[in-house]
Amino acid sequence: MNPSAQEVLKSCVQNLEELVAPELANPHAKSAMMCARMLINHVILRLGQEGDALATDCREKRALFARLAEEGALDPDSAADVTAMLEASEPEYTSIATLTERDEAWKRLTERALSRLGDGEPRARIRRQLAAQITRENACCGPAMDGPMF
């Protein structure tokens, strides 16, 4: 989706710094605004790094606990849990940036195909997929806009 979540949050931080902060006279309000800015920056960083960090953490723990179980270093309950965990493979991680690039390529193909297809079932099928995409994207937008604006 465009803009990315990180781009939306960076825009919020920019608005806080350029438009809101200069208007705040109360030191408590300034402090609250700075805390909000720091938390948003924290989320921006997490969006870019958290998935890869979690995937790495899972791989490392899997290897560690497999060795510990193999060595007999764990209590029976923990060893049984390790055995159960090892039966399933770790999920593959794909970054949002990679998925976004791939989705953008599919979107370009969609636009080209629609421009070259006449009316008919293939066009209708592409349009149904686009409707599904819009529904998914709206699920992220509508709830975020609820509530009073001022």
56/9 Cα distance (integer angstroms): 26
Look at residue 147 and tell me whether its pLDDT is greater than 70. Answer: no
What per-residue confidence (pLDDT) applies to 50?
86
- Taking only the tens place, the pLDDT of each residue in 98-137 is 888 898 999 999 999 999 999 999 999 999 999 999 998 8
Beta strands in the chain (DSSP E): none
Of the candidates 50, 19, 21, 49, the residue with the CA atom closest to the CA atom of residue 35: 21
Q: Cα 66 from chain centroid?
A: 30
SS3 content of the chain, % helix, strand, coil (to 5): 80, 0, 20
**Threshold 0.75, pTM exceeds:** no
What per-residue confidence (pLDDT) applies to 95?
84
Higher pLDDT pick, 41 / 142: 41
What per-residue confidence (pLDDT) applies to 150?
56
What per-residue confidence (pLDDT) applies to 109?
94
What per-residue confidence (pLDDT) applies to 83?
95
Residue 102 amino acid letter: R
Look at residue 43 and tell me whether its pLDDT is greater than 60. Answer: yes
Domain residue extents for the chain: 94-150
What per-residue confidence (pLDDT) applies to 70?
96
The pLDDT > 90 percentage for the chain reads 62
